[in-house]
Amino acid sequence: MGGPSRVRKAARDAGAQPAIPPGFAVELAELLVALRAEAGLAPNTLLAYRRDLERFFRFAAGRGATRFADVDAALVVDHLGALRADDYAEASVARALAALRVLARHLVQESALRRDPTALVAAPKLARPLPRSIAPSDVAALLAAPGDPRWSPREPWRAERDLALLEVLYASGARVSEAAGLRLDGLDPALGIVRLHGKGGKVRLVPLGARAATALAQWIRTGRRTRPGAARSPHVFLGAGGARLSRAEAWRVVRRAARLAGLRAPASPHALRHSFATHLVEGGADLRAVQELLGHASIRTTEIYTHLDADAVAAVHRLHHPRA
């Protein structure tokens, strides 16, 4: 059950919201256009920026501000404090500050603002949880699930598609949106390589193992051809009606496979991505290579996997050192 602050937050979010001052509205609209055109951000990311900034604008308007030039560091700090008082998680508070920084830097760059009021505001310190990965033996059981007679006895095409999807997710470390959006012209069967379209429109080439390549070829050669409109669709993975496989359906495939495999913890496409990276690092892969395969813009994002590798080394030390 949520506390009083959570109830107030839900009531506020559900109720009518005060209008945003025109000055703020114009600045927000111009920022979203710039982010969409220049940064190539995904629609979900743009929507998150809009929500966070609109929430701040309403707060600032209550303090008499009508445009970002009226905002100072104290107002930003007060807003973050109000979010915490309303029971927002620290990750949400950090994201709200990040959105304000993006807007402030955009306005400074456009000479619409003399100084960035967020520059002296400290970002919340967030814990970096270790990724939840799946043991190799459990991954093997999960990947075998579509071969179970109970999977789709009346729709053999579905078993072929789901096996290919699971194999690709684990073999390439693809995000669920990248796998669902995989196109036929992004495959190179001869080299066993897929072209993945990641965040910000970035494209990367990732090799597939033999098993994933075989499962993918089987699906394209047989099961995919039975889907309505398959000849006209550019996408690899199709649903029952012939439309591109949705991210939600891809999630359901992974979760169902995990249940059928008897995995104790719930699995997800992201867990397969983490498992892909974890197993590479534990096998001795270079961190820079893993960064490229995952499509991380910064090596700092990939460095979290060094903690997993350190844990494995420590375990070996404890088992084999005479004075451990």
pLDDT of residue 6: 45
Instruction: Note if 202 is an active site residue.
Output: no
197 included as an active-site residue: no
**b/e map 47-61, b = 16+ CB within 10 Å:** ebbbebbbbbbbbbb
Are residues 62 and 175 both part of a single domain? no
CB 244 within 8 A of CB 231: no
Q: How many domains does the chain have?
A: 2
Are both 174 and 278 inside the same structural domain?
A: yes
The answer to the question of residue 261 being in a domain is: yes
Same domain, 105 and 170: no
Residue 165 lies in a domain: yes
pLDDT at residue 288, as a whole number: 86
pLDDT (tens digit, 9 = 90+) per residue, 149-162?
A: 999 999 999 999 99
Instruction: Count Cβ atoms within 10 A of the Cβ of residue 143 and give its class: 0-12 exposed, 13-18 middle, 19 or more buried.
Output: buried
Residues in the chain predicted with pLDDT less than 50, given as ranges, are 1-8, 10-12, 14-15, 324
Active-site residue 161, yes or no? no
Let me know whether 293 and 206 are in one domain: yes
Tokens 């579905």 -> residue: 158
Is 273 annotated as catalytic? Answer: yes
Instruction: Say which of 67, 175, 224, 227 is annotated catalytic.
Output: 175
Q: What is the pTM of this model?
A: 0.63
Sequence-ordered list of residues with C-beta below 8 angstroms from that of 314, at least 6 positions apart, any chain: none
| Structural domain includes residue 74 | yes
Residue 37 belongs to domain spanning: 19-109
Both 34 and 151 in one domain: the answer is no
Q: Is 260 exposed, middle or buried (0-12, 13-18, 19+ CB in 10 A)?
A: middle
- Residue 273 resides in a domain: yes
Determine, yes or no, domain membership for 203.
Answer: yes
Could you tell me if 220 and 295 lie in one domain? yes
